[in-house]
Amino acid sequence: MAPRQPVQIEICVDSIQSALAAEKGGADRVELCQNLFEGGTTPSAGLILGVRRAVRLPVYPIIRPRGADFYYSEAEFEVMKDDVRLAREWGVDGIVLGLLKRDGSVDAKRTRVLMEIAGPLPVTFHRAFDVTPDPFKALETLIQLGVRRVLTSGQERTVLEGIDLLAELVKRAGKRIIVMPGGGISDRNFDKIRRLSKAREFHLSASGPVSSAMTYRNSRVPMGRELRASEFAWSATDPEKVQKVVRTAARSGN
């Protein structure tokens, strides 16, 4: 019997602190974002360069000019082209993107343009996939384009809710494209998701609360909108949570 391929763990990070924690925990790769409150947008130049200097892990920045939907104007598309070009110049290891047409189908034409700019860099199609009307047709389109992997929750709020579709996508994909579950995965449910989906790569944040080190705190002046997190706490990747998932993944790869 051929040996099983090792399971890989991708951690979604939005800071150097989280990237270092992902590496310390034994992750295989990081997806680099900013603005995780809106699902992640393109990280700044300083963050990309800082993470590249800080960790040895492969770094895949997301190329997403704003939150909300994935149908972009011509101006937004020009921004995406520039961001892919610059990210490649800055030495990233892969690109994460997702573009749809008005009807929700994969925008193959624009995706191909960005992939050509990315050159040899592997491309992940992110959870824009989860709002396509026909996931099986979308999967075949991405395979034809030569996309390396697709990140998906199985078109549900969480991977566990979408596990039936995920398992079918993994089966249909075979070795043609990597189907990477992501959305609500934690160290507590990882093994169940791995067994049910039969996937070999997984995406999670493994985050926990971090409290500000500031001793003076003026709570009368919020820096965000009314629906907001505390100004003196945030979430960051927890290396211990990453380690738990990595250890479980290592056992499943044997």
The full set of domains in the chain, from first to last, is 8-252 (3.20.20.380)
In Å, what is the CA distance from 56 to each residue of 30, 118, 145, 173, 179? 10, 21, 29, 30, 24
Q: Among candidates 154, 159, 253, 251, which has minimal Cα distance to 205?
A: 159
pLDDT tens, position by position, for the chain (254 residues)? Answer: 344 568 999 999 999 999 999 999 999 999 999 998 889 999 999 999 999 999 999 999 999 999 999 999 999 999 999 999 999 999 999 999 999 999 999 999 999 999 999 999 999 999 999 999 999 999 999 999 999 999 999 999 999 999 999 999 999 999 999 999 999 999 999 999 999 999 999 999 999 888 888 888 887 777 665 555 566 677 889 999 999 999 988 886 55
Name, in order, each residue with C-beta under 8 angstroms of 2's C-beta and a sequence gap of 6 or more.
Answer: none
Residues 72 and 99: their CA atoms lie apart, in Å, by 7
